[in-house]
Structure 1
């Protein structure tokens, strides 16, 4: 499929939390994101080298999971082209909204599994509020301390039919598949998508819990592996649940660490190295079920909760 490039990059993710104060403390004090601003319902957060006002919108709720995923278009004209393509696609259209503290007007639509997406162009660039926030180097968005994540990297959504989700991403966002898991039963177990030359900005894996519109995880990138090793000690010191890692994925080759923030949303720190998809005729890498049963890159077996835990949690059925 020919690359589209109407969409520039993943811009932000809105996460819901039923433990707002605890989640905000985790994301700022422990995880290392910076608070750009707040309104009555949400906190707007960013990593130290995210150029936009917010890459994570943390919103008060009575549940958890993902409220919406935002992608920035490459230009006003590209935004209109994508809107026209989405309106003609047959997928559910929600329509235009006025944006929020982070960006201007945005067009919302929905995948077949209930995840809400939006695309926008007008955005608010982050501006340091005082001298302490300014970076010493002019080509860095703001100052940083410790092992704080550098930028938003990707997210992983769950769906009951990865093949149909793949069609949605290709049709609505012009995404390309870079790697995928082919199961023995003929189904796709997972797909990794990109809208630019990064190896991926969104992954979709098969939903095993019977839920709808669920989140698997959101990921921020670090500069180097050592940042993740230091972060593991920081999480340990602060009583954060470390689910798995540090270790290296086979798919995409990312060095990873997964934790659960206080409300239960899975959050990752990852170092993807310098992998870029520069080949215009890139052939997606296929991973078989046999490949996946080998575990992660260095033999670590994938733990059970990685296949079963998502947010919001699935209500247990009464017998």
Structure 2
């Protein structure tokens, strides 16, 4: 008999992104992506999409480098958080409790096998829009900003890793995430994984680092409502002189309609329409893509650009 599934975690709540160009990065996220500032503390600015229910989904922090400082996953209840903490204690992956950040209660930190910092929390501040941002409909978090790309909410992120299988087993066994799709090479090596905590097709992905460097970051993704909005986003990026890396196009894996750009700090950012596919089957079997299938490129035949495999943050030196 298979072990009982663990559904203690609800979703990806936020991430902390490091940038060596804080002013330029902030202007990108506010003026081009259309995000809203919901707080400032020290060297960090807290940002949100217009329908993120929590106070923020992106913590942008000034640094001497780029990349991800941590990702934060929200538990389904205080008891669920305690169960995940108990499972992690003594595992060698635990870091320990930290005081709550802005809009968030105490959090338990751990590291995945690759060294990425993961924060687990439950207590959170639901966003209360000020009068000038109050929406007409009460079931919407905030007024539509009508600025730039107008990203709606945080959708997922992608980390780079040395050992994909070790990270998959960590997320499955300690955090209860489900693998929905993966790439397995001809020699049996796992090259990528897509995982979920809910009925979304994925909350995050991990792909193998081209340089074999641990703990690096690939991209963060914000959701738009339609393919047409992503086409419009391409025009907006063009007008603002933002480098478009690849897209608009459709991924074969997960069928996400995508567009990738670089923000001024060097981090890759995706805008995507990924919410139509849901994993409703409780006994879902991971979709496995082969080496030959991946060499065919994306869904409609676009070959994957080389930088998509090599560019990550922080950059590799030497």
TM range, smaller chain: over 0.9
| Residue pair 2:158, 2:204 contacting (<8 A) in 1 also | yes
Distance in structure 2 (CA, Å) of the matches to 1:2 and 1:204: 24
Equivalent position of 2:256 in the other structure: 254
Aligned to 1:219: 221
Q: Contact 2:97 / 2:108 at 8 angstroms: preserved in 1?
A: yes
Where does residue 140 of structure 1 map in the other structure?
A: 140
Q: How does 1:70-149 map to 2 (within 5 A)?
A: 70-88=72-90, 90-130=91-131, 132-146=132-146, 147-149=149-151
| Aligned equivalents of 1:152, 1:273: Cα separation in 2 | 11
2:289 aligned partner: 287
Residue 37 in structure 1 maps to residue 39 in structure 2: yes
- Return the alpha-carbon distance in structure 1 between the equivalents of residues 220 and 189 of structure 2: 24
Cα pair 1:91 1:111 within 8 Å, conserved: no
1:276 is aligned to 278
Of 159, 184, 187, the match for 2:186:
184
2:311 aligned with 1:306: no
Distance across 1 between alignment mates of 2:5 and 2:197 = 8
- In 2, the alpha carbon distance for the partners of 1:262 and 1:160 equals 26
Contact 2:159 2:216 in 1 (8 A): yes
Deviations 1:259-296 (A, max 9, x none): 00001000000101421111011111111111100000
| Structure 1: gaps of 5 or more residues | none
TM-score by length of 1: 0.96
Contact 1:86-1:171 within 8 A present in 2 as well: no
Q: Tell me the TM-score normalized by structure 2.
A: 0.97
Shift of 1:39: 1.1
Would the aligned equivalents of 1:194 and 1:200 in 2 still touch at CA under 8 Å?
yes
1:187-225 deviation digits (Å, cap 9, x = unpaired):
011000001110000100001123221000000111111
Partner secondary structure for residue 281 of structure 2: coil
Residues 210, 314 of structure 1: 8 Å contact kept: no
State the secondary structure of the residue aligned to 1:233. helix
* CA RMSD across the alignment: 1.0
What are the Cα deviations for residues 296-318 of structure 1, in whole angstroms up to 9, with x where unaligned?
Answer: 000000000000000000011xx
Q: Aligned partners of 2:173 and 2:100: how far apart in 1?
A: 24
SS of equivalent residue, structure 1 residue 58? strand
Superposed, 1:39-58 pairs within 5 Å as: 39-58=41-60
- Uncovered stretches (5+) of structure 2, i.e. residues with no partner: none
User: How far apart are 1:2 and its partner, in Å?
Assistant: 4.5
- Contact kept in structure 1, 2:181 and 2:254, CA below 8 Å: yes
The question of whether the paired residues in 1 share the 8 Å contact of 2:200 and 2:275 is answered with: no
How many residues of Structure 1 are paired with residues of Structure 2 in the alignment? 314
User: Structure 2: how far apart are the matches of 1:286 and 1:153?
Assistant: 22
